[in-house]
Amino acid sequence: MVTDTRPAGAAVNPDPAGPARGPRRRSLYSAQRRAGWILVLPAVFALSLVTIVPIGYGFYLSLTSYNPVERGGPRFHGLDGYLDVLASGEFWHAIWVTVQYSFGTLVLAVPAALGLALLVNGRFPGVALFRAVLYLPRVVPLVAVSMIWLWLYSHDGLFNYLLDLVGLPPVDFLTDEDSALASLIVMRAWKALGGSMIIFLAGLQGIPKSLLEAASVDGCGRWRTLRHVILPLLVPITTYVVVVDLIYLAQSFSEIYVLTSGGPLSSTTVLNMLIYNEAFEHYRLGNASAMAFLLFCLIFGLAYVSIRTMARGGRR
């Protein structure tokens, strides 16, 4: 509430008498404009330095060949870097790994998150606690999560113990070429559950009660209401969850760097891992920048395709 009625002083209001309408109006606008710029200036300065300039600079680098260890700056060579990258087998392999990793995680996490949301939607004793516990993996740093799963997957860890209990031989989850990617996917899906669950929960609580009552009056049972009323209404929110997760997952890096470093035999080398190695192990900054822009295109494409697919699914 504004209780302070003192005149704010000449600097703030250059026209304390406030006589004619015209000049006062104009000075108000110019004061607003000035205030607007003052308020955005720090953010604009910081964002230009760390976002806008780097994007332009990065695009320039992607058109060059640049090894900072050798003398004499970036050498411009147009689209050659892009053609090099597109012709390399390891780039396409990394794309394939990225796609498997992203979609594998989504396929596990999204239905499970929906199930969890249905489970904790409603009132029953303990529901607040259960929601918090289920959300917990979401707030814990990914590297910390990786450390826990490093043990779970280790030779003497929980999963090998469980395998032993049912009489199966031990698996080198993270160091076997056949299981490393799948192991990472399971971990990442567990990490992704809580965030998606909360969004689904918000979606479920936004469904008008009248619709559910109508379904019940029409004799719909639980499962038919779920199948024909709730799920169709959740299509937009599912699209949102899928697209946002996809954008994140396609940029996965830290858990892979920490747990497998892209190995064994590059079976878990996602695109971000490849770009990191290209730039900071082999110092090929030009090629790495070209890959980064191609990843940008891939993410854009994936998001576009999922939005289109799900929009079509929703109309049916």
Partner 1 sequence: MNARPRIGGTGPRRTVLAGAVALLVATPFVWMVSLAFKPKTEVFAYPPRLLPEQPTLDNFSYVWNSTNIPVAMTNSLIVAALTVAGNCVAATAAGYALARIDFRGSRLLFTAVLGSAMVPSIVQLIPLFLIVKGFPLAGGNDLFGQGGTGLLDSHVGLVLPILVQPLNIYLARQYFLDMPQELADAGRLDGAGELRIFWQIYLPLARPIVATIAILSFTGAWEDFLWPLVAVSSPEMQTLPLALSSFAGSGVTQYGPLMAGTFLAIVPVLVIFIAGQRHFVQGLGSGGVKG
Q: Which of residues 69-128 bind partner 1 (CB under 8 A)?
A: 116, 118-120, 122, 124-127
Min dist. Cβ of residue 288 to partner 1 (A)? 6
Residue 135: how many CB atoms within 10 A of its CB? Answer: 17
Residue 311 interacts with partner 1 (CB under 8 A)?
Answer: no
Burial of 43 (0-12, 13-18, 19+ CB in 10 A): exposed
Select the span of 103-111, 167-175, 205-213, 308-316 touching partner 1 (CB under 8 A): 205-213
CA distance 264 to 143: 19
The H or E element containing residue 76 is strand 75-76
Cβ atoms of 246 and 106 closer than 8 Å: yes
Q: Which tokens is 15 given? A: 């026209």
Binding test (CB under 8 A) with partner 1, winner from 99, 108, 148, 307: 148
Bridge partner list, 110: none
Pick the piece of the chain touching partner 1 (CB under 8 A) from 89-97, 98-106, 170-178, 243-251.
243-251
Q: How far is the CB of 76 from partner 1 (least distance, A)?
A: 16
* Residue 44 is a binding residue for partner 1 (CB under 8 A): yes
Which residue in the set 23, 25, 26, 52 belongs to the binding site for partner 1 (CB under 8 A)? 52
Residue among 129, 202, 231, 305 that touches partner 1 (CB under 8 A): 129
* Positions 23 through 42 that interact with partner 1 (CB under 8 A): 28, 31-40, 42
Helix (H, G, I), strand (E, B) or coil at 244: helix
Q: Does 233 bind partner 1 (CB under 8 A)?
A: no
Q: Which is nearer to partner 1, 168 or 214 (CB)?
A: 214
What distance in Å separates the CA atoms of residue 286 and residue 296, rounded to the nearest whole number?
A: 16
To partner 1, the closest distance from the beta carbon of 176 in angstroms equals: 17
Query: What residues numbered 258-277 form the site for partner 1, per CB under 8 A?
Result: 258, 272, 275-276
Q: What share of the chain is helix, strand, coil (3-state, %, to 5)?
A: 70, 0, 30
